[in-house]
């Protein structure tokens, strides 16, 4: 009787340990859940939504982040937090703000994911009319809710090493479940 119970207990323990190992591997190397805290990405991402971040694309496959990717990263001024923003400027590009529009390498960036008529203003790091060149292995990021976003306009560029991953899937609340798509631009 005790032998059967012991074998049953070991079988259960084996399943639990295996499940935990799979979860831990997935969490550390493949997908990580994140909660959106705030409305800096409105109207496309909402406060208290949950999403899965793809950690494979940038970290394991070594693919370069692209303009329009929605990323999760460790911000320069709050190292104990993680932010979600959209990549606007890539390494080597020039970024400026003119008359409420983003200018990349001298061309207006068409941002169809923003609410109609949403102007973009400058801030401490990048003011209206100034031009900033994105350094190698760094990115210029902005929230979709330009009037309420702490982003590269305020504190500068995000180093590639601080990227946690690319937003992949919004899964909570269930009625808002959707795959996160990168934006298409005019260039």
Q: What CATH number does residue 103 fall under?
A: 2.10.109.10
Examine the pLDDT at 12 and tell me if it is beyond 70: yes
Residue 151 lies in a domain: yes
Which contiguous run of DSSP H or E holds residue 171? strand 163-172
**pLDDT per position as a tens digit, 61-89:** 889 999 999 999 999 988 899 999 999 99
Examine the pLDDT at 25 and tell me if it is beyond 90: no
Residue 18 lies in a domain: no
Residue 2 lies in a domain: no
Residue 24 lies in a domain: no
CB 144 within 8 A of CB 88: no
Give mean pLDDT, residues 23-47. Answer: 80
Active site residues: 40, 85
* Per-residue pLDDT at 1: 59
Q: pLDDT tier at 32 (50, 70, 90 boundaries)?
A: confident
Residue 22 lies in a domain: no
Report d(CA 119, CA 10) in Å as an integer.
62
Give mean pLDDT, residues 158-178. Answer: 93
Segments forming the whole domain that contains residue 63: 33-179
Q: pLDDT tier at 28 (50, 70, 90 boundaries)?
A: low
- Phi, psi (deg, nearest 5) at residue 116: -55, 135
Q: pLDDT tier at 29 (50, 70, 90 boundaries)?
A: low
Express as a percent the part of the chain with pLDDT over 90. Answer: 61
Residue 23 lies in a domain: no
pTM surpassing 0.75?
yes
* Per-residue pLDDT at 182: 76
Examine the pLDDT at 128 and tell me if it is beyond 80: yes
E strands in 2-149 = 31-35, 50-54, 70-73, 83-89, 94-98, 101-104, 107-108, 131-133, 138-142
Residue 98 lies in a domain: yes
Examine the pLDDT at 27 and tell me if it is beyond 60: no
Residue 104 lies in a domain: yes
* Per-residue pLDDT at 83: 95
Examine the pLDDT at 22 and tell me if it is beyond 90: no
Number of domains, the chain: 1
């Amino acid at each position: 009787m005790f032998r059967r119970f012991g074998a049953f207990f070991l079988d259960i323990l084996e399943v639990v340990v295996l499940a935990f190992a799979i979860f831990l591997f997935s969490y550390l190397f493949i997908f990580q859940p994140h909660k959106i805290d705030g409305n800096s990405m409105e109207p496309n991402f909402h406060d208290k939504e949950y999403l899965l971040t793809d950690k494979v694309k940038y970290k394991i496959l070594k693919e370069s982040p692209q303009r329009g990717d929605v990323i999760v990263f460790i911000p320069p001024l709050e190292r104990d937090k993680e932010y979600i923003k959209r990549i606007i400027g890539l390494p080597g590009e020039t970024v400026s703000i003119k008359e409420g529009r983003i200018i990349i390498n001298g061309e207006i960036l068409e941002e169809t994911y923003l609410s109609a008529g949403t102007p973009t203003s400058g801030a401490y790091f990048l003011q209206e009319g100034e031009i900033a060149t994105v350094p190698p292995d760094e990115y210029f990021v902005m929230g979709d809710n330009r009037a309420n976003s702490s982003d590269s306009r305020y504190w500068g560029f995000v180093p590639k090493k601080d990227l946690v991953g690319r937003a992949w899937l919004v899964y909570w609340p269930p009625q808002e479940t959707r795959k996160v798509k990168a934006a298409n631009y005019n260039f």
